[in-house]
Amino acid sequence: MKRKRYVIVGAGGRATCFARALIVDYRECADLVALCDVNLLRLRGFNEYLETQIPMFTDFGEMVAKSAPTHAIICSPDYTHAAMIEQAFQHGLEAVCEKPMATDAAKVRQILALEKQYGKKVAVTFNYRYHPYSAQIKRVLQEGRLGAIRSINFEWLLDKVHGGEYFRRWHASMAHSGGLFVHKATHHFDLVNWFIGSEPASVAAFGSLNVFGAKGPFRGERCSTCRYAGGQCAWEMKIHTVPQHKRIFEKLYWEPEAGDGYVRDRCLFREEIDIYDSMNAIVSYRNGTQLSYSLTAYAPVEGYRLSMIGTEARLEASTVNANTMDAGIMQDGGTGEDMLVVTRGHTREDLAVEQIAVSRQPGAHGGGDKRMFEHLFGDNVPDPLGQAAGSSAGAMSCLIGIAANQAVAENRVVSINELFLNGAENNAWRIEK
């Protein structure tokens, strides 16, 4: 089998995970042949952080000409994904794209059209599908133990550290990220789409900015130079005090600032922030399922609560923990077991409760990254749960968030179909079964 040759586009923190996997775990079957970013200082810092000497390029075409890749891994900011996919296809490369696949409906339509035009495919990296918790839920559903799923409630909590991070970075601009309805919730919407195997039909939503942005008590330019630092501001960025995080921040953000002016520790209370920190959505599906979803970006704890009610039983999965590193799908390691709870019964007298243990796994995103890399970089890896995702899944997940943003702005229910107007071919976007 021909050896795969990868390039990484966008040398931010997430890209280091892909680079490590290729350099360490998949070096026998794949090569990481180049890095591409608009900031040469960041590229140098990326190599210094990983202690590598991967060839660096600021021009995509030059990179392709000199490194002869077969695949491009796109980790650039969300709003650039469609343009980067187009460049990859134009140069004959396959594309692996970080979630969300796109930030607006026009870019979704563009990507789907590009696939047809060039005869190429986009793989979208939904690592939450690979978490042991998610995989076990999918198995229970495949076995039909809940019957037909009709109602889902999904609450996701970001604690003040994790949630606040999105408001320091480029993600705080709706034009750059689509807001948390798109950038963050696309993970959660994809899980639901994948769990029930159906397409969303319409979305109603509410969103508001209650804590961050102009709602803050005071504001500065950045934490590192702020006059309120040192105890006056409870939201002061302190991640740089952790040695491992300090090094990645120095090499990928602090030192490369002069190259593009990107400031990584911007004030959470900037008046120009226009994304929501409090979100609720109701999604109706083509198969009759209804989803009630909420996302809060300033909770005191990190985690989620998920319940799914079918015609035969109810499933509950829940992890809420003050320690972000140990919060269910978000947990990065540890020992012990999480539990799924399945409740069956037709009357109050015949209820039966079953607990299904799910062992925790080490590694980023509960070991999800490692299993996802197996599918991305390995050869002929079995996929009985259908965890590998393509452009249809990428489209449906981000389109729920895009529809939610439109529903908030226009105070109405938005159908997914209307986002495919302007000549989009009917059914071109349906989720893979």
The owner of tokens 């995989």 is: 135
pLDDT recorded at residue 217: 87
Report yes or no: 186 and 194 within 8 Å, Cβ to Cβ. Answer: no
Strands 278-285 and 290-299: antiparallel
What is the Cα–Cα distance from 112 to 129, expressed in whole angstroms? 22
Identify whether residues 377 and 304 lie together within a single domain: yes
Token pair of 252 as six digits: 């990928």
Q: Residue 382: which residues within 8 A CB-CB, separation 6 or more?
A: none
Identify whether residues 136 and 123 lie together within a single domain: no
pLDDT recorded at residue 242: 60
Identify whether residues 183 and 51 lie together within a single domain: no
pLDDT recorded at residue 12: 95
Report yes or no: 4 and 71 within 8 Å, Cβ to Cβ. Answer: yes
pLDDT recorded at residue 357: 83
Collect the ranges in the chain with pLDDT lower than 50: 322-335, 423-433
> 127, 159, 183 — which closes off a domain?
127
Identify whether residues 136 and 185 lie together within a single domain: yes
Task: Count the residues in the chain.
Answer: 433
What is the Cα–Cα distance from 121 to 94, expressed in whole angstroms? 6
Preceding omega of 100 cis (within 30 degrees of 0) = yes
Identify whether residues 189 and 96 lie together within a single domain: no
Which of these, 301, 41, 273, 326, lies nearest to 157 by C-alpha position? 301
Identify whether residues 287 and 376 lie together within a single domain: yes
Total domains in the chain come to 2
Give first-to-last CA distance, the chain, whole Å: 27
Q: Which domain holds residue 139?
A: 128-212+273-420
Q: pLDDT tens for residues 66-123? A: 999 999 999 999 999 999 999 999 999 999 999 999 999 999 999 999 999 999 999 9
Identify whether residues 140 and 90 lie together within a single domain: no
CATH assignment of the domain containing 122: 3.40.50.720
Main-chain phi, psi angles of 114, to 5 degrees: -65, -40
Identify whether residues 338 and 406 lie together within a single domain: yes
pLDDT recorded at residue 265: 92
> 86, 103, 127 — which closes off a domain?
127
pLDDT recorded at residue 347: 83
